[in-house]
């Protein structure tokens, strides 16, 4: 990322606020002219007082007039400068805030278009993405602020001051001009030496942010194993790397700051010596007042130099963080692909033919998968953990694209389907569903934002959560995150009920529910299964045995397929899982207990 590319990327965000730019530029020009008033006034004042001292006798009337004019001009200039400074900073800051808002919203909207595979990549963990976005927006908006509030006014003032120095005396102007490039060269060398350290600092900050997020998400596990010290040590190691980086950066910065300050002071000394020499030599147009005049003008020329190291640091931070930020904003290959096929009715027949799939981390999850999921049928996917069951659901919902092979829905390639239309016709209930920050009603309405409150109530009843909701102080307006895990699961199921789709994917939908709740939800799910295409992933015998078709998977391959009875009689992995589930339930003792009650 170069400075030119940086401003190219920022330009679309600044363009809508052209009127703010015009206002800022106008204020900048007026402010730059006002900045030279002190030098001009001091020049004239020194010469006027010097001439007055040569008069005999000394006239206080003339002196009072000079002092009065000086006071009026300088005070008037300060009032004008204060007003200009306020307007300039206000408009510049307003632009920074608006640009910051637009950038943050643009990157969020962009990320929402990305395929799920993007977020599964090792380098795109939540904490790292958050740091890239936060630091990117912060550094880029600071660049806008630096340009319109700091750099532009300072350099405009410096250019005008340099022009005035040349007009007064070309030799003094040349001296001032020669000093400035040396300072810029030192600043450039500093930035070049620090670029690698700054890039490493970005990596350390991303790792630190991601580590903190992992601690927050895993706090229960950490405390249950008494591993606070281990996690603290991990973060300390990351912090130490960041600290070492910051110290090295600061050491180099302070070294170059000293060199740049020395160069600036040399420039001031040379200006004083040269101007004094010209005055003593009776050079045309040179007077005692010109000494102070040139010193003050050179101070205006060197003002950007004094600010340059800070601005340049911010600019280089922006260059580093802009890479990560604009990588997100301009990632074309990560945008979720969508076809245009939108039929009047979705039947729900899926066909998979020799499908292979590998996750972004390199883990190959599916090997030549072939199966058919009939319309209006219940299909169960059975297998040990890691067999590829959830991966198949992810592919059918177009969260990922297969490496090879074909997936068809109603005899049309899945890639040709309009993705949004497809998902509008699929209901998904996971083992652990996400509950959003909001009320219970908000979370249920997420399944169908156009539904009425009566629809929400009906969905809650079907999910057997209505009575519990009504016992809460704020009922449907209660914060959903305050509910227990099992209650949140029922909210997610209610969300699916209110969506009422023709295709349903159930991935361990009752895993976090108690036995009574499981039975209640099973009854509700049984009711909604009718005349719909249902794919269920479950270790529950009661849900597997109700399926029309069972596919048993192992190590990413289909080992068996058929009706539950047919597959059970074949033996193999399905029978092993079925028998193990029965034994884990202690079916024999349960049967004896029930028989004892009946007798």
Percent helix, strand, coil in the chain (nearest 5)? 70, 10, 20
How far apart are the two ends of the chain, measured CA to CA in Å?
A: 82
Q: Are 368 and 354 in contact (CB under 8 A)?
A: yes
Joined together, the tokens standing for residue 336 give 């979720």
Q: For position 544, what pLDDT does the model report? A: 79
Beta-carbon contacts of residue 268 (< 8 Å; ≥ 6 apart)? 295, 298, 299, 302
Query: What does DSSP say about strands 404-409 and 350-358: parallel, antiparallel, or unpaired?
Result: antiparallel
What is the rounded distance in angstroms from the CA atom of residue 397 to the CA atom of residue 421? 11
Which pLDDT score is estimated for 501? 87
Asked whether 146 and 315 are in contact (CB, 8 A), the reply is yes
pLDDT for residue 142: 78
Distance CA 555, CA 385 (A): 9
| H/E element, 80 | helix 60-111
Per DSSP, the residues of 266-292 read HHHHHHHHHHHHHHHTT-TT--HHHHH
What are 338's two structure tokens?
A: 């969508």
- Which pLDDT tens digit goes with each residue over 75-92? 887 788 788 878 777 877
Nearest CA among 156, 176, 152, 172 for reference residue 33: 156
Q: Tell me what pLDDT residue 513 has.
A: 64
Share of the chain above pLDDT 70, in %: 87
| Cβ atoms of residues 404 and 355 within 8 Å | yes
pTM of the predicted structure, to 2 decimals:
0.65
pLDDT by residue (tens digit) across 315-331? 777 777 777 788 888 87
| Lookup: tokens for 563 | 């009706």
Name, in order, each residue with C-beta under 8 angstroms of 185's C-beta and a sequence gap of 6 or more.
Answer: none
What are the residue ranges in the chain where pLDDT is below 70? 1, 47, 52-60, 122, 191, 194-199, 202, 217, 220-221, 224-225, 304-310, 312-313, 431-433, 510-514, 517, 521, 524, 527, 584-599
């Amino acid at each position: 990322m170069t400075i030119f590319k940086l401003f190219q990327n920022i330009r679309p965000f600044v363009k809508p606020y052209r009127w703010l730019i015009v206002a800022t530029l106008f204020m900048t020009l007026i402010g730059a002219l006002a900045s030279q008033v002190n030098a001009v006034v001091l020049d004239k004042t020194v010469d006027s007082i010097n001439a007055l001292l040569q008069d005999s006798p000394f006239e206080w009337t003339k002196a009072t007039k000079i002092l009065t004019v000086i006071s009026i001009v300088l005070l008037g200039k300060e009032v004008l400068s204060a007003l200009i400074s306020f307007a300039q900073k206000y408009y510049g800051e307003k632009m920074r805030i608006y640009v910051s808002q637009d950038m943050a919203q643009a990157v969020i909207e962009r990320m929402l278009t990305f395929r799920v595979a993007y977020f599964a990549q090792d380098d795109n963990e939540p904490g790292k993405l958050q740091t890239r976005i936060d630091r990117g927006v912060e550094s880029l908006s600071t660049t806008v602020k630096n340009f319109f509030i700091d750099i532009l006014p300072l350099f405009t003032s410096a250019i005008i001051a340099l022009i005035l120095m040349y007009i007064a005396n070309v030799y003094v102007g040349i001296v001032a001009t020669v000093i400035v490039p040396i300072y810029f060269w030192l600043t450039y060398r500093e930035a070049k030496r620090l670029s690698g350290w700054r890039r490493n600092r970005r990596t350390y900050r991303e790792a630190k942010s991601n580590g903190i997020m992992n601690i927050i998400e895993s706090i229960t596990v950490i405390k249950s194993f008494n591993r606070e010290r281990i996690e603290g040590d991990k973060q300390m190691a990351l912090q130490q790397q960041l600290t070492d980086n910051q110290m090295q950066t600061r050491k180099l910065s302070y070294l170059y700051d000293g060199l740049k300050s020395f160069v600036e002071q040399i420039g001031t000394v040379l200006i004083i010596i040269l101007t004094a020499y010209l005055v003593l030599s009776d050079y045309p147009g040179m007077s005692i007042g010109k000494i102070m005049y040139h010193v003050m003008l050179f101070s205006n020329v060197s003002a950007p130099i004094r600010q340059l190291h800070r601005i340049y640091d911010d600019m280089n931070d922006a260059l580093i963080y802009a890479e990560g930020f604009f990588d997100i904003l301009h990632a074309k290959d990560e945008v979720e692909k969508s076809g245009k096929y939108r039929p009047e009715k979705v039947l729900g027949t899926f066909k998979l033919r020799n499908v292979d799939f590998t996750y972004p981390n390199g883990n190959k999850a599916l090997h030549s998968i072939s199966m058919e999921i009939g319309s209006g049928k219940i299909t169960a996917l059975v297998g040990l953990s890691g067999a590829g069951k959830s991966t198949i659901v992810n592919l059918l919902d177009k969260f990922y694209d297969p490496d090879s092979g074909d997936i068809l829905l109603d005899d049309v390639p899945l890639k040709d389907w309009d993705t949004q239309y497809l998902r509008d016709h699929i209901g998904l209930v996971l083992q652990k569903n996400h509950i959003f920050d909001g009320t219970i009603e908000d979370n249920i309405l997420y399944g169908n934002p156009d539904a009425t409150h009566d629809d929400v109530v009906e969905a809650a009843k079907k999910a057997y959560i209505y009575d519990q909701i009504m016992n809460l102080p704020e009922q449907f307006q209660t914060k959903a995150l305050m509910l227990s895990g099992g209650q949140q699961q029922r909210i997610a199921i209610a969300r699916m009920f209110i969506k009422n789709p023709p295709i349903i994917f159930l991935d361990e939908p009752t895993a976090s529910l108690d036995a009574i709740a499981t039975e209640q939800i099973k009854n509700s799910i049984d009711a909604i299964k009718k005349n719909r295409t249902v794919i269920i992933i479950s270790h529950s015998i009661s849900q597997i045995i109700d399926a029309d078709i069972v596919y048993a998977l192992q190590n990413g391959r289909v080992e068996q397929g058929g009706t539950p009875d047919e597959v059970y009689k074949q033996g193999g992995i399905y029978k092993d899982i079925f028998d193990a589930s029965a034994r884990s339930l202690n079916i024999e003792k349960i049967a004896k207990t029930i028989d004892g009650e009946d007798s």
